[in-house]
Amino acid sequence: MASQSLPYRQKEGLGVWENRGKVAFVGIGHSPCVRRWDEKIETSLGEFAKIAALNAIADAGLTLDDIDGVQSAPGPLGDRWAPRPYLAPPFDSEDGLSMVTAEWLTKYMGLKKVRYADNRGGSVGNAAVLAIEAVASGLCNYCLVLRPLNNFEGRYHQVGAASNRGGEAEEKASGPSQWEIPYGWAGPSWFATLAQRYLHEYNYSHDNLAAFAVNNRRNGLMYEFGYYYQNRAEPLTEEDYLKARWITKPFNLYDCDIPVHTAGCFLVTTAERARHLKQRPAYILSHSSGSRIARSLEVTLREYEESAVRVARIALEGAGLTSKDIDVANLYDGYAPFALNWLEAWGLWGVKRGEGLDFLQGDHFKVGGPHPFNPSGGNIGTGRGHGTAHITDTIQQVQGRAGRRQAKKADVAAMAIMPPGGTGIVLSSHPG
Amino acid sequence: MRILLSFDIDGTLEVGDPPGPITIDMVRRAQGLGCLIGSCSDRTLSGQRSIWAALDIQAGFVSLKHRLAEVKAQFQVDRYCHIGDTNIDEQSAREAGFDFLRMDAAASEPWVQWVDGLGSKRDGAEHTNDR
């Protein structure tokens, strides 16, 4: 386990990232994406993680013996498996069932050359950043980035009728959540208040989100690794969206990503090594990460917006670019309105604060249009991959292999992972 | 006795995702006994119609989960029952004035007895209006 401090880029004024264009994504791998685990070993989270990793390795044209780094955002995301009885080894603990650590995957896959294994970061965005920096600093040469996402039968995120804000199910509410969870103040509710404030402050209604949600499903049905593509090839109409039941206002059913059971994996290496592999390199021009944004228990819309702006500014500054240089973007939408905050923060296509929903009307932001936005389908169009779809599609866009989702121009692409305050990454088809 | 059976799909019907314990044969049998059958799900209406069409079953209705009351207003029968697997199903049934039957209890097909007039309302279906 690496022990140095985390190499996140969280401050403005850092200038161009010193490793700009020197590291690249070279492989993508996914397991099947299903609604829930059917409790068979071959569909366990550990096995899905292995499938995703093998696919990423094969996609890059590498072998298991090439892999010397594993970075995981291990989870769990949904409930833990316990108190249900564990299975035979190596599925005799949470590791491999509700989570998959770098060490577990290394052992299960028989990776013999691993010299860097790390489980910090929490999100796949931060995990990608840690892998990128591990490669850039020479801790490893070929690093897998793993994000497993479990969904068991039961009450998602409600073990003991409580969960923490970190997304981890807990037996008891602790920390700040002890003042919130007992009153039903959990993820959807407190994000909903921010969304409601956004709609109020900028004079929108919830219905204005319909075109965005419909477009994400449309794109998601072209994303072969997603839940809807694989399991429910149902288009979503504006009427479907507008008639859907409320989850917590202003979020309806289709503003919330559907929990799924799946794993995604990416391969990172140096630009020099990447040039000799199977796929065109997706060069990493920059990355940025958020930091704590609230001065109290509850974050305000303004704090939220400023945090997103900071992440976007650092990412663009690190890439030596401006928002005008971005051709295509995948911005996180676990709850649909997140994407608005990110869009405005990045200032893509001239969109300023409060203008996001004016922009996301009509069809100009469809794949093939002048402003390709979330061609991956995002979370709400593909399932709760927690940003894996955003990463996959952004890589494929600059590699020119996004198929039916391919934007007309995709030399430079931006992604934002997790809610505002999360991770920003800029990719390019050229090292710059 | 005229009976309306509203089936949730995911987690309830065998064709749902995840699959549930209610087989399509059970649904066909209920329809054969004269029950008015349909679905009430979080799936889109077009998605629900597609499922019934693929099964070659003439569903009497399709409904969104929070609009079950509209089904009750549309059809006059002696007994309304929604079969589902979640708390939301139970809430939707209660708010619409339906009896609620959990899918595992429904797998014994209690409606066969209802049609014959042999079963009481206490045979597995929660009489939600009593609450």
Q: What is the pLDDT of residues A44-98, one digit of tens each?
A: 999 999 999 999 999 999 999 999 999 999 998 878 898 889 999 999 999 999 9
Could you tell me the pLDDT band of residue B119, with boundaries at 50, 70 and 90? low
In angstroms, the CA B117 to CA A391 distance is 59
Residue B16: its chain A contacts at CB < 8 A? Answer: none
The packing angle between helices A45-60 and A102-109, to 10°, is: 70
In angstroms, the CA A32 to CA A36 distance is 11
| pLDDT average, residue stretch A30-50 | 97
ipTM for the complex? 0.89
Predicted local confidence at residue A79, as pLDDT: 80
Whether residues A36 and B18 touch (CB distance < 8 A) is answered with: yes
In angstroms, the CA A14 to CA A215 distance is 36
Q: What is the pLDDT of residues A287-307, one digit of tens each?
A: 999 987 677 778 899 999 999
**pTM (2 d.p.):** 0.94
Nearest-neighbour CA in chain B from A35: distance (Å): 6
Q: What is the pLDDT of residues B30-48, one digit of tens each?
A: 999 999 999 999 999 999 9
Report whether pLDDT(A206) > 50: yes
10 Å CB burial of residue A282 (0-12, 13-18, 19+) is buried
Nearest-neighbour CA in chain B from A298: distance (Å): 28
**Total beta-carbon pairs less than 8 A apart between chain A and chain B:** 33
Quickly list DSSP for A184-212.
T--HHHHHHHHHHHHHHHTT--GGGGHHH
Predicted local confidence at residue A66, as pLDDT: 98
In angstroms, the CA A39 to CA A36 distance is 9
Cα A102-A107-A109 angle, rounded to 5 deg: 95
Predicted local confidence at residue A183, as pLDDT: 79
Predicted local confidence at residue A149, as pLDDT: 96
CA nearest neighbour of A165 among A179, A155, A154, A176 = A176
Q: Which of B15, B39, B44, B87 to mutate to test the interface with A (most CBs of A within 10 A)?
A: B44
> C-alpha A17: how far from its chain's center?
22
Predicted local confidence at residue B121, as pLDDT: 52
B91 — phi, psi (to 5°)?
-65, -45
Report whether pLDDT(B125) > 80: no
CA nearest neighbour of A231 among A151, A124, A158 = A151
Q: Which of B10, B44, B67 sits opposite A236 (nearest CB)?
A: B44
Predicted local confidence at residue B126, as pLDDT: 56
Greater pLDDT, A380 or B122: A380
Report whether pLDDT(A156) > 70: no
Contacting B with CB below 8 Å, chain A residues are 34-36, 38, 153, 231-232, 234-237, 240, 243-246, 253
Report whether pLDDT(B131) > 60: no
Q: Are A291 and A314 in contact (CB under 8 A)?
A: no
Q: Which two tokens stand for residue B94?
A: 């209660």
- Which residues are CB-neighbours of A292 under 8 A, at least 6 positions away? none
- The separation between the first and the last C-alpha atoms of chain A, rounded to the nearest angstrom, is 32
Q: Which of A38, A232, A245 sits opposite B66 (nearest CB)?
A: A245
Greater pLDDT, A76 or A209: A209
Predicted local confidence at residue A176, as pLDDT: 74
Could you tell me the pLDDT band of residue B107, with boundaries at 50, 70 and 90? very high
Whether residues B46 and A240 touch (CB distance < 8 A) is answered with: yes
* Three-state SS annotation for A212-277: HHHHHHHHHCCCCCCHHHHHCCCCCCHHHHHHCCEEECCEEHHHECCCCEEEEEEEEEEHHHHCCC
Nearest-neighbour CA in chain B from A219: distance (Å): 18
Whether residues B44 and A231 touch (CB distance < 8 A) is answered with: no
Q: What is the pLDDT of residues A244-299, one digit of tens each?
A: 999 999 999 999 999 999 999 999 999 999 999 999 999 999 999 998 767 777 88
Whether residues A237 and B46 touch (CB distance < 8 A) is answered with: yes
Predicted local confidence at residue B86, as pLDDT: 93
Predicted local confidence at residue B129, as pLDDT: 41
Q: For the ranges A160-169, A414-423, B25-34, B118-127, which has the lowest average pLDDT?
A: A160-169
Q: What is the CA radius of gyration of chain B?
A: 13
Could you tell me the pLDDT band of residue A3, with boundaries at 50, 70 and 90? very low
Nearest-neighbour CA in chain A from B37: distance (Å): 22
Predicted local confidence at residue B2, as pLDDT: 94
In angstroms, the CA A33 to CA A226 distance is 6
10 Å CB burial of residue A10 (0-12, 13-18, 19+) is middle
Instruction: Indicate the average pLDDT of chain B.
Output: 92
Q: Which of A231, A236, A243 sits opposite B17 (nearest CB)?
A: A231
H or E element in which residue A328 lies: strand A328-331
Q: Are B124 and B105 in contact (CB under 8 A)?
A: yes
Q: Which of A38, A153, A243 sits opposite B64 (nearest CB)?
A: A243
Predicted local confidence at residue A170, as pLDDT: 55
Would you call B77 an interface residue with chain A, using a CB distance cutoff of 8 Å?
no
Whether residues A245 and B65 touch (CB distance < 8 A) is answered with: yes
Report whether pLDDT(B117) > 90: no
In angstroms, the CA A389 to CA A144 distance is 16
Residue A240: its chain B contacts at CB < 8 A? Answer: 44-46
Q: Are A20 and A287 in contact (CB under 8 A)?
A: no
Q: Is B34 left (phi over 0), alpha (psi -120 to 50) or beta?
A: left
Residue A36: its chain B contacts at CB < 8 A? Answer: 18
Could you tell me the pLDDT band of residue A165, with boundaries at 50, 70 and 90? very low
Predicted local confidence at residue A168, as pLDDT: 46
Greater pLDDT, A110 or A153: A110
Would you call B29 an interface residue with chain A, using a CB distance cutoff of 8 Å?
no
10 Å CB burial of residue B73 (0-12, 13-18, 19+) is exposed
